[in-house]
Every structure is written in structure tokens, then in C-alpha cells.
Amino acid sequence: MKRYLTLIAAAVAALGLATGCGPRNASVSSPDGSLSLEVSVRDGRVGYTLHREGKALLDFSTLGFELKDAPALRDGLEICGTQTDSFDQTWEQVWGEEHFVRNHYNELTVSLRERQAPNRRFDVVFRLFDDGMGFRCEFPEQPDLGEFVIMDELTEFRFPEDHMAWWMPTREPYYESIARHTPLSQMDTVNTPLTIECAGGEFLALHEANLTDYAKMSLYPVDGGTTLRSYLTPWSNGVKVYACTPFRTPWRTIIVGDTPGDLVTSRLMLNLNEPSKIEDTSWIRPMKYIGIWWSMHLFQETWAQGPNHGATTENMMRYIDFAAENGIEGVLAEGWNVGWDGEWTKNSDKIRFAEPYPDFDIDRIADYAAKKGVQLIGHHETGANTKNYEAQMEEAFEFYRKHGIRAVKTGYVNVLMDGKELHDSQYGVRHYRKVIETAARYGIVIDNHEPVMPTGLERTWPNLMTQEGVRGQEYNAWSPDGGNPPEHTTVVPFLRGLAGPMDYTFGTFDFSNPVSPFARVQSTIARELAHYVVIYSPLQMASDLPEHYAGQPAFAFIRDVATDWERTVVPQAVIGDYCVFARQKRDSQEWLLGAITDETPRTLTVALDFLDPKMHYRAQIYADGEKADWKENPYDVAISERRVAAGDSLQIRMASGGGCAIRFVPEPEK
């Protein structure tokens, strides 16, 4: 009987597809039933609603596209078929905040077509996870839709209330901005991720996954501010996306949680990307590094050749010695190659990516690093001249491979690529993907600065290890506004950090700045240490000068802290005020904890229930001293040890702009 009824249902569905008399709505729930989605057509427009435990998170939000020289794909639509599916798999990350990731969702595909000629078609695929949702549009091959041009994507997110949001404006280049905190209705056009604190207490994060051959999505408020509509970064001619069927858009993502930490620990975005295309990933390894970089931002040395040139053979070998002595795996050199001068951003066509300056003996340096067991990290600053870079890219990566260099930091300092296109347009997205895929062929990992916002592509291309796209440490050296306020890094993990790893480059131990005394690192030493746990990157820089670490007991934490994790938890967090992160070292029982606060001193009681209840640990604590204060005394750090277990709690006292870093080392069984 069950089989008979199934056959009848299949026949009815097939009849609907054949006659155009499909269902008027369709629905799907998350595996645990907490989230429910309904898709329907109202007055010829398709839209969706999202509920959690029966409560509306999103009211009817419509979808569609404006096309060039063709009618919009928006009105006069009908559902001509639906299909459901489920998936449950656990996969292993090459590196990450969590070793093993469960990918568990229920899927609904809604097939749409125009009721009138030319009867163009597209599908919307929805995937509901227990912690959120992703959806994208797919355009199959069809007679009346081959090559087409998208002028606007009409995706909406319609909220029932004017919630509070943490956001970054699109008008500031490279995503390097201080977050704003306002109601939705008071936002500008904003980058994603966008983090929302709902009136009912839930937390949401809106972003996208698998940005491939498309323009990045931003959002802007309409209809009184409670509806957000997508805005795609255009080409210089106004076109948003050039497409040809079959074609898929990126996933539009919504993460849902009860706490800010739930947003951080979601792996929804990674799950919406494809598995790794690199079969042998043994050469891709997380690491800590130092480099010839901070001295240039302090204007003590220069990128260009001259009496104060930073990237010299002798200076590089000094950094290699320090790295080898302290277990730091990598050393970066910026300004080593021909093309750096006072006008390099304007004359970026003169940059040569495989031609060292005469005072940078690459053969000698590479041999010395290999003998010391230290990896060299190359640097390709393009000045956003992508044509010049692409013309030399194969030669440059081969040059690095010849010298045993397996990691490259790329840069794109110029607001427009090639003088006309935006970084996060389809033009820029195509270029960045070409770099990643080319680097993979040469066995090279990428640290991309001035990037397009990450969207989880590191799952598919794990050689894309980290990116900037954040207002990082360099602003503390020269920014006219004085640098990043203490609040900044209490927001970053819950906003930009939701997109993926970020190369913030912390680790300051000397807070003086004689050349630019108006700017400084607004932190304490203990807080700088805590950042290594709070702000995630598989490539972590100890950014200060080697001489500033010499003789400093607190540097032991930087030597010891991991860069690859088994598990991540967020015991406490109030976005913009403070946060506590705890991470288990990969393939180890060792845990590390980082806690930071804004300008307000705080004392927190943190339960250690994330530790293994069957073990005892030696807690190595690096805390703010009694006299610590980011303005008056950032150097006061108290180092202590105590024995702890999973049932214990620790009181963590943090000074103004301060923090605390703890390493939990398992004690051997007696």
C-alpha cells in the first residue's frame, strides 16, 4: 500500500511539471525541527519565510533578478515542481577551528518558471541546518536563457522588527573599518557578515558561501529599515554579473544562535562549500611566523631600497636566527623585490615578482633558512595591478618553488584593480580564484591581503590559509585616529571573524611609537597574548621586532600557543564588551584560553567545564598585573601557575584594555 501511494504521489508531481499546475507552496524543516521554512508564490512573486520554534525570524522575503536587455526574472512566476533531500556526513578539515565537522541538513529544491512566454526557468535550493540556512539560485540550460547579464539581484531579508546590528559600511576600502552598532533602520549599505541581535534575544549572522564567478553581496535597508535588500558590487560599466547557463549563484546564508558564541562555532558556511580539490594536502601546514614588516609601519625601515632598507640579507638572517631559537616556523620579508619606490602604487607595472633587490641574496637566505629549519614566506604586493601580476604569476611561483618557499603573502593596495574595477566585483573574484588555483599547482599557500571577503572557499582550496579584510594591527602604528580602540577586537570575532580566518598580526610587546606618537597599540601585553586564541588564523604572526621579545618571560606563551585546533568553545561573550575563547590543540589534550575586554576593567568567573573531566591540568596563567592599564602601564603582566580540573572555575581579572591568556597542560597520570 505504501509503495502504491508513493507511485500515485510521483505521478501527480509529474503531472504538475507537465501541465504547469504545480504546488503553490512548499516547506522544509531543519533536522532537529527547530527551524522551519516555507516557500510560496504571492501575486506572481516567489518568496520565503523562516521560523524558529514557531517564531518568525524572517517574514515573506522575495527573490528575483533584473536582467540587461531582457524582462526581469521576478514577476509572473509559478512553482512547477519541488524536490526534497537529506544529508548527514562528518568530514575532516585540513586545518581549522574544529578538526571534524558534521554536515547535516534537509534540502528543498523549488523549481520556478514564468507563466507566460518565454517560460524561463530557475531553481531555488534551500538547505536547513540546525543552526541556520543557506539558499542559492540555479539556472539550467534552456532555449531562451543562454548567455545573460544580471543587473541586480533582488534577494530580500525581511525582519519583523527593527533589531540591533553590528555592521561595517561598504564605503571604506578593504573592509578595514571600525564596526558600528545601530538599529537596522539606521544602517548604511553594509558589508557582510552582518551580525544581528534580535529583540527576542536570538543572534543572527547574514553572509554568503562559495563566492564563485559572481559579485560580492552587500545589503542595504529599505521599507522603513526592517527589510534588507542585496546589492552586488558592479563592474565599472554597471553590470553586476556576466553569466551563462548552466549557472549557480553563491549561497546566501543565515546563522542562528542563542549566544554570540553560537555564531562563531557554526560551520554552516564551510558546509556550503565543496570538498577539497587538492588531493595531497600534506604540504599545507598551519604555523606561526615573524617578519620584516612592523619596522616599516613604524617608519624605522623602508620597503624601498636605501640606507634604511628593511629586507636585506643580514636582517633576514637575523630574523631566521630568532625564529629558529624560539620555535617559530616562518619568516616573512616585505620589500625584497624590485619595484618598490615612493610611487609604487602608481607605477605598479614596474614591480617584478621574481627579481630580488641586490642587497637581498635569495639563494643565500633560502639555504640558511633550510639549514635552520625555518620556512620563508614570500611577498607579492601587486598594487592591485592584476594584469601585471597575472603576466608574471607562473614565473613568480616557479621562482619561489625553486627556492623552497611554500607560502606567499599577496597584497592589493589600491582601491581599484587595474585602475577601474573594485576588488569584490566579479572581476576581482575571478582574479583571486586564479591566484589560489595557480598557487595550488605550485604547492604554495596564500595569505591574501586586501582581499574579497572570505566565504568558506578554504574548504575547497585549503591552500587559501588566511586573509586580511580587517582593520588590523598596522592601524595602531600610523592611523590619525590613534589606532584601534580596545572595543575593536571584542567585536571582530563576531563580525569579520564569521567569514573566515584573518591575518590581524598582533603580538606587540613594545608600545612606544616615537615617529607617530599620536597612534599606539591600545592593549596590554596580556591582551596581546589572548588575541592568539580569540582571533583565529592558521598563520599567526608575532608582529613585533625580535629585540622587543628578547628577555620577556611572557613571550613563552607565543612560543607555546597552537595554530590548529581540535575544538573551539566560547564560554562567555558580550559583543563590544568582552569575550572568552577556549580552544583545544589539535590531536592533543592541551587547551588554551584567551579573554579580552574593552576599555572597562572586568573580573569574570570562567567555568573550566570544557576540560577533560578525567584529567588534571597545570594552568599557566598570563594575566594583567595589579597596575596594568592600556594607557598608563601596558607592560604589567603577572605570570603564575596552578593545578586545575574540569570542575573548577577561574577568576579572571582584566585591566582597562586588558586580557588574560592561559595554557592548560595535561598532567601525567600517576
pLDDT in tens, 100-149: 999 999 999 999 999 999 999 999 999 999 999 999 999 999 999 999 99
Does residue 197 carry a catalytic annotation?
A: no
Contact of 170 with 66, CB cutoff 8 Å: no
* Residue linked to cell 571577503: 453
Decide which of 3.40.50.2300, 3.40.50.1820, 3.20.20.70, 1.10.1040.10 is the CATH code for 287-563: 3.20.20.70
pLDDT over 70 for what percent of the chain?
97
450 and 412 Cβ atoms separated by less than 8 Å: yes
Rounded to the nearest integer, the mean pLDDT of the chain is: 95
Least confident of 141-145, 376-380, 642-646, 665-669: 665-669
Q: Which of 13-22, 23-32, 207-216, 497-506 has the lowest mean pLDDT?
A: 13-22
Distance CA 121, CA 38 (A): 20
Hey, what CATH class is 25-271 in?
Answer: mainly beta
Average pLDDT over residues 446-467: 98
CA distance 48 to 110: 11
Per DSSP (E only), the strands in 412-560 are 416-417, 421-422, 445-448, 464-467, 539-541
631 half-sphere exposure, CB direction, 13 A CA radius: 8
Q: What share of the chain is helix, strand, coil (3-state, %, to 5)?
A: 20, 35, 45
What local confidence, expressed as pLDDT, does residue 669 receive? Answer: 75
CA distance 192 to 172: 13
Residue 251 has pLDDT above 50, yes or no: yes
pTM given for the model: 0.95
Summarize the confidence of residues 456-479 as an average pLDDT.
98
Query: If you average pLDDT over residues 86-106, what whole number do you get?
Result: 98
Residue type, 275: P
* 377 grid coordinates: 614566506
| Side-chain-side CA neighbours of residue 141 (13 Å) | 0
Q: Is the pLDDT of residue 236 over 90?
A: yes
Between the two ends of the chain, the Cα-to-Cα distance in Å is: 64
Any idea where the domains of the chain sit in the sequence? 25-271, 287-563
Q: Are 450 and 563 in contact (CB under 8 A)?
A: no
- Residue 21's pLDDT band, with cuts at 50, 70 and 90, is low
Asked if residues 31 and 106 have their Cβ atoms less than 8 Å apart, the reply is yes
pLDDT at 670 over 80: no
- DSSP calls for 36-55: EEEEEEETTEEEEEEEETTE
Give the residue among 161, 156, 253 at the shortest CA–CA distance from 201: 161
Give which of 313, 291, 311, 290 is closest to 301, Cα–Cα. Answer: 311
Contact 196, 188 (CB under 8 A): no
pLDDT of residue 12: 39
Report whether 425 contacts 456 (CB < 8 A). Answer: no
Q: For residue 19, what pLDDT band results from cuts at 50, 70 and 90? A: very low
If DSSP codes are grouped into helix, strand and coil, which group holds residue 36?
A: strand
Overall average pLDDT of the 429-449 stretch: 98
* DSSP 8-state assignment for residue 249: P
Distance CA 287, CA 85 (A): 40
Question: Catalytic pick from 156, 208, 450, 474?
Answer: 474
State the CB neighbour count (10 A cutoff) for residue 222. 12
Res. 15: pLDDT tops 50? no
**295, 365, 378: which is closest to 547 by C-alpha?**
295
User: How would you class 95 by CB atoms within 10 Å of its CB: exposed for 0-12, middle for 13-18, buried for 19 or more?
Assistant: buried
pLDDT digits over 618-644, tens only?
Answer: 999 999 999 999 999 999 999 999 999
Give the amino acid at 164: M
311 pLDDT above the threshold of 80: yes
Contact between 489 and 596 (Cβ < 8 Å)? yes
- Which helix H or strand E contains 409, and what residues bound it? strand 407-411
Instruction: Indicate whether 316 pLDDT > 70.
Output: yes
Contact 20, 14 (CB under 8 A): no
254-296 pLDDT per residue, tens = 999 999 999 999 999 999 999 999 999 999 999 999 999 999 9
Q: How many CA atoms lie within 13 A of 626 on its CB side?
A: 0
Determine the residue type at 621: I
CA atoms of 141 and 509, how far apart (whole Å): 59
Position with higher pLDDT, 466 vs 13: 466
Provide the strand spans (E) within 283-349: 287-292, 330-333
CA distance 412 to 432: 10
